[in-house]
Structure 1
């Protein structure tokens, strides 16, 4: 009698596991239906659900290899994590990190931790693959736009308060946009690694408007399963700040509070607006 062979395990990559979670959350498919679609067993889908938070954290961190199908824990996980932390610090300081430097630092960390460990080239290759680390040319982060000259007629900073003498400090607001390079380490910077941030507060610092983030994705994966109302900031699916909408909402909010306020904007922003909305309280 011929014995049936064991069913071969089909491992899913991190990207595929995130797709599984999205299908279960958005399409309301059952675990069995999702298992058939990905040609895996239902218990595998169940384990993915149990590890949902860990998988999402790995996905959002950007350091995990998203195409890797199994995540095996290193025997020297403490050294692994400590070296990765040192690596990010070194790249943030624009150091030229090389393989020999990493091997030397790994040995140094092992000695500090009291572990009998001699890192090899093979271990370093596996460490780089595990942590999605690559060596490349350093990037010099240039500003998104050049410094602005002072507006015509404003020859001294001392003149600015004179134009605001009719407003209390609580009613003088400043607003600016800036790029946030949240993975800004040399050699690992792309367009998807930037969001645009809009900040606004009064001159006392006692009132801060809700932060507005602008990104490239309409539905970022890091927002998966999270209600937008629970976030500490608003999100706009575009790197271009919607100034007209933001100003109109700011004006309405000030009107509801019965206030007349001053709002300081960069000259570049004002010039870029095709037409200011009807503002009655700003």
Structure 2
């Protein structure tokens, strides 16, 4: 039997081995695959065992490095790499002295006293993380029209191998979720980089395809990991995450990307996803079923479908629901209670579900995605009538940023992944928990709704959905072994 000699493998070679394994693991065992790749079986098993670490090192750079040696100041370097990702996204000039100065500040924040940002250290750091210096173009970033024209010329080629259902756009926006119409003047023009407004905000990520047939589950980021209003809540219509300032960060965005990638792997679909260039959208993320395309910087207001009206309509739907709540509380003061994160989630999810496919098609078309969207005449979405009585209310948080330029302390917190689960200040006035109706109360509410819906035109579909809800309530009552006599108390 021929013995296969061990050899040092670069990070790139290990990534290729993982790709081959993923492709052939269903039909080939590890021994056969090792022989095919001319590797010792033990080497293959070690690579598979360290899959996560290898992919993370690959994401951060250094693909030709063979030994994945961890530096003495590993945490410091991880924070520094995250800062470099952010600086790169902002197109900041980077040099050796700048990196050394930033490293010293990080060491000070981490209370590291024996760190020396020497030339030898920075050379090793650059090699470990695949960092090279490149000259930044001196052309003005304000010249966006040329970028737009170039993009429009190349877009058809990007789309030619994808059906409309497989072309997606995702974007985040900030939301003052507690802001009622009678208080909107307080936050007008607020960009929300702190202060009171920051305590009443959420970040929402929306993603949809170009024919409007698929709106992915919203990602909502709040400040508290487990707010009190989540007590007794067993399911949410969105994906919820928490960050101490309710910002989108690079780490969270990568987690979302990989979850979406896994979703489409299961469906055996390959999609193309367009996103904007921002510090919260790191580059170099390895994905299997998603082709990730970054829109030209400084031109996303013209080129991003979400910015052509999808987010606007979503926020209008949310605000409309808050106005109805506000009017109800005026008529019935006893029904008034603090608006919670859970209330906001239910309302934003309902508004997302209500967006019509035609609205999404129109916005993709306005962004230049014409060749892949059904060529129909689409009407412009107008502002709902009820919002017209509150000028500026639906657009009050248009300037709210969904991310921020993170400080060293923020980056350390992200790397440590020690987000506090304690309630933040904005939760202090929330109810202890979301009130739960009894089965009797739920059935009574369904019957009230049925009588109301029956008085409307074209109510058959709504009545069928109410019947479904009634069946769910009855099934839950049976599961909990509720006695029939309880319904007559």
Superposition TM-score, scaled by structure 2 size = 0.33
Does residue 22 in structure 1 map to residue 19 in structure 2?
yes
1:30 Cα offset (Å)? 2.7
Equivalents in 2 of 1:146, 1:226: separation in Å?
A: 32
Give the 3 Å change call, closer, same or farther, for CA 103–58 of structure 1 in structure 2.
Answer: closer
CA contact (8 A) 1:13 1:66 kept: yes
- Shift, 1:50, TM fit: 1.5
Q: CA deviation at 1:45?
A: 0.8
In 2, Cα distance between the equivalents of 1:66 and 1:77?
A: 18
CA deviation profile, 1:2-31 (whole Å, cap 9, x unmatched): xxxxx9641222222223223333233332
Cα shift at 1:56: 3.3
| Matching residue within 112, 115, 126 for 1:128 | 126
Residues 41, 260 of structure 1: alpha-carbon distance in 2 compared, 3 angstrom cutoff = closer
Q: Is the 8 A contact 2:21 2:33 kept in 1?
A: yes
Aligned pair in 2 of structure 1 residues 8, 126: CA closer, same or farther (>3 Å)?
farther
Evaluate the alpha carbon distance shift between residue 74 and residue 198 of structure 1 in structure 2; reply closer, same or farther with a 3 A threshold.
same
Q: 1:74 and 2:71 equivalent?
A: yes
The aligned counterpart of 1:184 is none
Q: Is the 8 A contact 1:199 1:209 kept in 2?
A: yes
Deviation at 1:123, TM superposition (A): 1.1
Alpha-carbon separation, structure 1, partners of 2:72 and 2:63: 21
Change (3 A) 1:101 1:22: closer
CA contact (8 A) 2:208 2:214 kept: no
Closer/same/farther in 2, CA of residues 138 and 177 from structure 1, 3 Å limit = farther
Equivalent pairs counted in the alignment come to: 196
Write the distance in 2 (CA, Å) between the matches of 1:267 and 1:108: 43
Structure with bigger helix share is 2
Which protein, 1 or 2, shows the higher relative CO under an 8 Å CA cutoff with sep ≥ 6? 2
Structure 1 vs Structure 2 CA RMSD: 4.7
Instruction: Return 5+ residue gaps in structure 2 as ranges.
Output: 153-166, 172-206, 218-257, 273-289, 294-355, 380-489
**Normalising by structure 1, what TM-score?**
0.53
Is the aligned partner of 1:145 residue 2:149? yes
Q: Supply the distance in 2 between the matched residues of 1:33 and 1:269 (Cα, whole angstroms).
A: 46
Equivalence map 1:33-44=2 (5 Å): 33-44=32-43
Q: Tell whether the 8 Å contact from 2:6 to 2:39 is kept in structure 1 after alignment.
A: yes
* Displacement after TM superposition at 1:111 (Å): 2.5
**What is the SS of the residue equivalent to 2:97?**
helix
Equivalent in the alignment of 1:250: none
